[in-house]
Chain A
Amino acid sequence: MAITEQDVQASEDAPSVNYLNNGYGLKSWLLTRDHKRIAVLYIISISIFFALGGLFASLVRFELMTPEGDLMSSDTYNKVFSMHGIIMVFFFLVPSIPATLGNFLVPIMVGAKDLAFPRINLLSWYVYVVAGILGTIAVVGGGVDTGWTFYTPYSSTYSNSNVILAAMAAFMAGFSSILTGLNFVVTIHTMRAPGMTWFRLPLFVWSHYATSIIMLLGTPVIAITLVLLMLERGFGFGFFDPNLGGDPVLFQHLFWFYSHPAVYIMILPSMGVMSEMVAAVARKRVFGYEFVAFSSVAIAILGFLVWGHHMFVSSQSTYAGMVFSVITFLVAVPSAIKVFNWTATLYKGSIVYDTQMFYVYGYLGLFLVGGLTGLFLSSMGLDIHLHDTYFVVAHFHYIMVGGQVMGYLGGMHFWWPKITGKMYPDIWGRVSALLVFLGFNLTFFPQFILGYMGMPRRYHVYPDEFQVLNVASSLGASILALGYVIPGAYLTWSIFKGPKAPDNPWGAKGLEWETTSPPPTFNFEETPLVTEEAYQYGPIEEH
Chain B
Amino acid sequence: MADHAVHHDHPHGLAHQFEDMPQQKESAIIGMWSFLITEILFFGGFFATYLIYRSYYPEAFFEGSSHLDISLGAFNTAVLIISSLTMAMAVHKSHEGNKKGIMVYLILTGILGLTFLVVKYFEYSAKIEYGLVPGLVWHPHGENSPQLALFYSLYFGMTGMHALHMIIGIGLLIWLFIKTAQGTYTAEYNAPVEIFGLYWHFVDIVWIFLFPLLYLLGTQGGGH
Interface string of A230-272 (1 = CB under 8 A from B): 0110011111000011110010001000000000000000000
In the complex with contacts A185-B30, A254-B45, A1-B38 CB distance below 8 A: no
B153 to A239, Cβ gap below 8 A?
A: yes
B150 to A4, Cβ gap below 8 A?
A: no
A2 to B157, Cβ gap below 8 A?
A: no
- Residues of B near A329 (CB, < 8 A) are none
Q: Tell me the minimal C-beta distance from A192 to chain B in angstroms.
A: 10
- Residues of B near A118 (CB, < 8 A) are 15, 17
In the complex with contacts A221-B42, A224-B42, A235-B134 CB distance below 8 A: yes
- Residues of B near A178 (CB, < 8 A) are 38
- Residues of B near A4 (CB, < 8 A) are 4-5, 19
B49 to A239, Cβ gap below 8 A?
A: yes
In the complex with contacts A244-B150, A245-B56, A191-B17 CB distance below 8 A: yes
A2 to B1, Cβ gap below 8 A?
A: yes
In the complex with contacts A237-B157, A246-B150, A527-B19 CB distance below 8 A: yes
A220 to B41, Cβ gap below 8 A?
A: yes
Q: Tell me the minimal C-beta distance from A209 to chain B in angstroms.
A: 12
- Residues of A near B125 (CB, < 8 A) are none
| C-alpha spacing A235/B154, complex, angstroms | 13
**Which of A17-35 touch B at CB < 8 Å?**
none
| C-alpha spacing A232/B156, complex, angstroms | 12
- Residues of A near B20 (CB, < 8 A) are 1-2
- Residues of A near B1 (CB, < 8 A) are 1-2
| C-alpha spacing A236/B157, complex, angstroms | 12
B interface size (C-beta, 8 A): 48
Partner of B26, one of A190, A216, A219, A235: A190
| C-alpha spacing A191/B31, complex, angstroms | 12
Interface string of B48-70 (1 = CB under 8 A from A): 11001100110010000000000
B219 close to chain A: CB less than 8 A: no
In the complex with contacts A2-B19, A217-B41, A224-B42, A245-B135 CB distance below 8 A: no
In the complex with contacts A238-B149, A238-B150, A190-B37 CB distance below 8 A: no
In the complex with contacts A1-B19, A224-B42, A231-B157, A217-B136 CB distance below 8 A: no
Q: Tell me the minimal C-beta distance from B168 to chain A in angstroms.
A: 13
| C-alpha spacing A26/B16, complex, angstroms | 23
Find the A residue at minimum CB distance from B146: A245
| C-alpha spacing A114/B18, complex, angstroms | 8
- Residues of A near B161 (CB, < 8 A) are 227
A106 close to chain B: CB less than 8 A: no
- Residues of A near B34 (CB, < 8 A) are 182, 185-186, 216
A interface size (C-beta, 8 A): 47
Find the A residue at minimum CB distance from B52: A250
- Residues of A near B45 (CB, < 8 A) are 220-221, 224-225, 228, 254
**Which of B101-160 touch A at CB < 8 Å?**
134-136, 138, 146-147, 149-150, 153-154, 156-157
| C-alpha spacing A228/B161, complex, angstroms | 11
Chain B residues at the A interface, C-beta cutoff of 8 Å: 1-5, 15-20, 22-23, 26-27, 30-31, 34-35, 37-39, 41-46, 48-49, 52-53, 56-57, 60, 134-136, 138, 146-147, 149-150, 153-154, 156-157, 161
Chain A residues at the B interface, C-beta cutoff of 8 Å: 1-5, 112-118, 178, 182-183, 185-187, 189-191, 216-221, 223-225, 227-228, 231-232, 235-239, 244-247, 250, 254, 522, 527
| The 8 A-B residue pairs with the shortest CB-CB distance in the complex, in nearest-first order | A236-B135, A224-B45, A245-B147, A220-B42, A237-B153, A114-B17, A2-B19, A220-B41
Interface pairs (28), CB distance under 8 Å: A1-B23, A2-B1, A2-B3, A4-B19, A5-B4, A114-B16, A116-B17, A182-B34, A183-B31, A186-B27, A186-B31, A220-B39, A220-B41, A220-B42, A224-B41, A224-B44, A228-B45, A231-B157, A235-B134, A236-B135, A236-B136, A238-B135, A239-B150, A244-B146, A244-B149, A246-B53, A254-B45, A527-B19
